[in-house]
Structure 1
Amino acid sequence: MNTIKALVVDDTIVYRKIVGDALKQMPGIEVVGTANNGKVALSKIKTLKPDLITLDIEMPEMNGIELLQELQNMDSPPLVIMVSTLTHQGGALTLRALELGAFDVLPKPEDGKMAENMLKIQKNLEPIVRHVKRHKFGIIDPPARLKAAVAFPDRVSHSPAKPRPAGIRSKSEIIGIGISTGGPNALTKMIPMLPKDLKVPVLIVQHMPPVFTASLADSLNKKSALEVIEAKDGDIIKPGKVFIAPGGKQMKIVAGADGLTRKIKITDDPPENSCKPSADYLFRSIAQHYVGRSTGVIMTGMGADGSKGLVQMKNNGSFIIAQDEKTCIVYGMPKEPIESGIVDIIAPLEKIADEIVKTV
């Protein structure tokens, strides 16, 4: 039987019940145990050998961070999903957890009835469980038609994308990035590689809950030559600055009152592709306001958010860069743009910053 074994780790019995019930509602999932701290969890991981664990951060005896450090010594550790409270301290610790190999992060529901919270957790866990099943049972996605070619020593592949419309400028004046699962670690490697004298703004949609995006911006700002901030409504889009869409909101570009400047608009518009923020939402506005002078970048993540927006950018003369399959934690978001032929460059993570610089 194609069954995924799961272990629920949390020091609060209420959350062990909520998360456990959410997993039990999914076909092909067996909750093999629970643990109220990392020390108990470590023992159960060794004996029960779960495929997936949900993990709280703040626990007695051994917390989630310490457990993740122990899991790094295992040959085949389970996939770890952080279920964390929406606080600034929790956000910083969750980023540390992602650096230590946690696959993704889900927010703990903090209000509502238990049944409602169980459904929220279940909805967030379902795509992750599908991903685990695909990998455990060898269900491989169809290969992309265009992959980073072995013939290129730097592993950067130039896809046969359509030429730009005549008369459209080739140098980009803005960079838009869409990224999801595996994104914090990928951005931690890529953003510091962008030079201090980059003379264009960078706008990023990273699929994360509220508060966590502020922690991500703070972390990247400390590591990067460029200033990195969580975007606020009304921010003027300035060259050499990196704006991260706030979790739980949508981010787009609007024209300033003078008709020359461009500003960031933060809205509470509905999710797109079950994502808020959504890369499609941002990319459409870039296509509208930067015709023929923008670069779209699509990176690691589950799902297909960003694909439709990139088509609009491409149709308006944008240059498109996609992360290659080998360096993606999850080869979901780049897959469709690559297969559809709209991508100009397919690059490994370590080459994406260089490819961005070339477009500006």
Structure 2
Amino acid sequence: MTGKKVRVLVVDDTVLYRKVISDVLAMIPEVEVVGTANNGKIALAKVEQLTPDLMTLDFEMPVMDGLATLLELKRMKSDVAVIMVSAHTSEGAAVTMKALEHGAFDFIAKPDGASLEKNRQSLLSQLRPVVQTVATRRILRPALTGIPRSVPPVQPVSAASRPATAPVRRQEMPPATSPAASAIRPVLPSGRIAVVAIGISTGGPNALAEVIPRLPKNLRVPVVIVQHMPPVFTKALADSLNQKSAVNVIEAQGEERLEAGNVYIAPGGKQMKVVKKATGEFLQLTDDPPENHCKPAVDYLFRSVSSIYGNRALGVIMTGMGSDGVKGLRLMKQQGSQVIAQDETSCVVFGMPMEAIKAGVADVVVPLHQISAEIVNRVK
């Protein structure tokens, strides 16, 4: 639908927020606001009438709330992309995780500032990239429609033991030939993996819920993750994943020693890096400025991983818009690290992995459902 305006339906029970969100969307050239609704029941009727491409959907509404509306859209097999509008609270973050599991494309946090102009700017900065993604629908992939509550951890397998009849979508990348990519010459061959570093953005909660619960409890390395999310929401993500996983998943607090079998998620609003001390590798949180408009930023984490682990790291770049992570992956590859990229078909947004593949830093490109097995086999 490139070249056509994105048709948006705004759903919120308050007149003020319906107007504010509509006004902000009107500032984006690619958008046409085709209607508003003050509850989910009316919104469902307008979806049928107006055929929007995108819906902003509030959670707390009378008659039919946001989560119930989302579930009904799922039952209807509607292809409207849904952006949940969430309160910046622990309760709002927890229900947001449920909405993402049930097919919401993404979410934005309701600004809690008193200044109307600051609220507008906050909404604009959150909505613009999502709208632009929908406008270039060739890189948009349907969000996953529900995550299994319990999935068995994968076990390492050799290539020889894989069934010969199984379809293999895993793609080994040939040596890069572009001048920029050819300049990435590892100073050392890959060593035994000592850490897994994951960078992910739009579509991340569902994708991580497919990968992390499949990691075995006895995974012999730690996993560090940057997921682009604001404060509070990263804690809800960690809690949600921890309930589903054999490994221990926590939101990083800073100063933790990295332990095998633990998964550490960078908290929203902080930068996270790995530092070396006499007793081992530790996490450190900082208030350093955003990179690539992101805090936490994938590049920030990957840069430290490259510095501390050299050729003993495994980088994983997954679904997300933009190019955050590519610079850090270049440094990791120069040190001899290995890199996995998620494939286009299984990405909600094929942005960050695409840039990594174009830069020639990916060793292998695999679909989402094979990423956990790829990790386990490379760290065994």
Same fold, judged at TM 0.5 (above): yes
Please state if 1:357 is matched with 2:376: yes
Q: Which amino acid aligns with 1:261?
A: G
Per the alignment, residue 367 of structure 2 pairs with 348
Please state if 1:154 is matched with 2:173: no
Per-residue deviation, residues 302-360 of structure 1 (Å, max 9, x unmatched): 11110110000110111000001111111101001112222111111111111111221
For residues 195 and 154 of structure 1, the distance between their equivalents in structure 2, rounded to whole angstroms, comes to 22
CA contact (8 A) 2:87 2:109 kept: yes
Per the alignment, residue 271 of structure 1 pairs with 290
For residues 240 and 168 of structure 2, the distance between their equivalents in structure 1, rounded to whole angstroms, comes to 29
Segments of 4+ moved more than 6 angstroms: none
Please state if 1:309 is matched with 2:328: yes
Q: Percent identity?
A: 53
Q: 1:281 aligns with which of 274, 282, 300?
A: 300
Please state if 1:184 is matched with 2:205: yes
Per the alignment, residue 221 of structure 1 pairs with 242
Please state if 1:206 is matched with 2:212: no
Per the alignment, residue 148 of structure 1 pairs with none
Per-residue deviation, residues 137-171 of structure 1 (Å, max 9, x unmatched): x699xxxxxxxxxx993211111247974654521
For residues 309 and 152 of structure 1, the distance between their equivalents in structure 2, rounded to whole angstroms, comes to 34
In the alignment of these two chains, the number of paired residues is 346
Per the alignment, residue 334 of structure 1 pairs with 353
For residues 98 and 367 of structure 2, the distance between their equivalents in structure 1, rounded to whole angstroms, comes to 23
For residues 343 and 139 of structure 1, the distance between their equivalents in structure 2, rounded to whole angstroms, comes to 19
Please state if 1:243 is matched with 2:259: no
CA contact (8 A) 1:161 1:343 kept: no
CA contact (8 A) 2:170 2:367 kept: yes
For residues 19 and 226 of structure 1, the distance between their equivalents in structure 2, rounded to whole angstroms, comes to 40
User: What pairs with 1:109-148 in structure 2 (closer than 5 Å)?
Assistant: 109-135=111-137
74-83 vs 323-332, which deviates more? 74-83
- TM-score normalised by the chain length of structure 2: 0.87
* Unaligned segments of structure 2, at least 5 residues: 141-164, 177-183
3-state SS of 1:254 partner: strand
User: What pairs with 1:159-174 in structure 2 (closer than 5 Å)?
Assistant: 159-161=173-175, 165=186, 168=189, 170-174=191-195
Per the alignment, residue 19 of structure 1 pairs with 21
Q: RMSD over aligned Cα, in angstroms?
A: 1.9
Per-residue deviation, residues 273-330 of structure 1 (Å, max 9, x unmatched): 1111110000000000001100000001111110110000110111000001111111
For residues 167 and 332 of structure 1, the distance between their equivalents in structure 2, rounded to whole angstroms, comes to 29
For residues 207 and 175 of structure 2, the distance between their equivalents in structure 1, rounded to whole angstroms, comes to 25
For residues 343 and 186 of structure 2, the distance between their equivalents in structure 1, rounded to whole angstroms, comes to 26
* Unaligned segments of structure 1, at least 5 residues: 141-150
CA contact (8 A) 2:326 2:359 kept: no
Q: Which amino acid aligns with 1:19?
A: I
For residues 209 and 166 of structure 1, the distance between their equivalents in structure 2, rounded to whole angstroms, comes to 36
Per-residue deviation, residues 31-83 of structure 1 (Å, max 9, x unmatched): 12211111111111111111111111111110110000110133443111111
For residues 189 and 224 of structure 2, the distance between their equivalents in structure 1, rounded to whole angstroms, comes to 22
Shift of 1:239: 1.0
Please state if 1:92 is matched with 2:113: no
Q: Which amino acid aligns with 2:378?
A: T
Q: Which amino acid aligns with 1:99?
A: E
